[in-house]
Amino acid sequence: MLRLVLDTFWDEDVWLPPNTTWEDLAPGPDKDVVYNDHRHLLYPIPLALVLIACRRVLETYWFAPFGKSLGIKNTRPKKAPNNPKLEAAYHSSPKIKHKQFFLSKDELCGLAKQLDMTERQVERWWRLRRSQDKPSTLVKFCENMWRCTFYLYNFSYGLFILWDKIWLWDIDYCYIGYPHQGLTSDIWWYYMISSAFYWSLTMSQFWDVKRKDFWQMFVHHIATIALLSFSWVCNLHRIGTLVLLLHDCADIFLEATKAAKYANYQKLCDVIFAVFTVLWIMTRLGFYPFYIIWSTSIRAPMLLPMFPAYYIFNSLLCLLLVLHLVWTWLILQVAYKAIAAGQMEGDIRSSSSDVSDSSHQSNHSTPNRVNNKKDT
* Cα 209 from Cα 211, distance rounded (Å): 6
Closest CA to 86 of 155, 132, 154: 132
What pLDDT sits at residue 344? Answer: 55
pLDDT digits (tens, 9 = 90+) for 163-181: 999 999 999 999 998 888 9
Cis peptide before 179 (omega within 30 of 0): yes
Q: What is the DSSP letter of 263?
A: T
What is the H or E stretch that residue 100 is in? none
For 5-45, what is each residue's pLDDT tens digit?
877 788 888 888 888 888 888 888 888 888 888 889 999 99
Spell out the domain ranges in the chain: 38-69+135-349, 84-132
- CA nearest neighbour of 213 among 306, 295, 325, 297: 325
pLDDT of residue 171: 94
Q: Using an 8 Å Cβ cutoff, are 78 and 128 in contact? A: yes
Q: How many residues does the chain have?
A: 376
Sign of CA dihedral 268, 271, 274, 279: negative
What pLDDT, on a 0 to 100 scale, did the predictor assign at position 306? 86
Distance CA 118, CA 122 (A): 6
| 78 DSSP 8-state letter | P
CATH code matching the domain that covers 84-132, chosen among 1.10.443, 1.10.10, 3.30.70, 1.20.1260: 1.10.10
CA distance 196 to 191: 8
More confident residue, 211 or 269: 269
Give residue 133's pLDDT band: very low, low, confident or very high (50, 70, 90).
low
Residue 121 vs residue 77, higher pLDDT:
121
**Whole-number CA gyration radius for the chain:** 25
Comparing 212-221, 229-238, 334-343, 359-368, the range with the smallest average pLDDT is 359-368
The DSSP 8-state label assigned to residue 79 in this structure reads: P
What pLDDT digit, counting tens, does each position of 47-80 carry? 999 999 999 999 999 999 999 999 887 766 566 6
Q: Across all residues in the chain, what is the average pLDDT? A: 80
Q: How confident is the model at residue 362 (pLDDT cuts 50, 70, 90)?
A: very low
* Cα separation, 41 vs 230, whole angstroms: 10
Residue closest to 323 by CA, chosen among 300, 299, 351, 289:
289
Query: In the prediction, which pLDDT does 222 show?
Result: 85
b (16+ CB within 10 A) / e for 176-208: eebbebebeebbbebbbbbbbbbbbbbbbbeeb
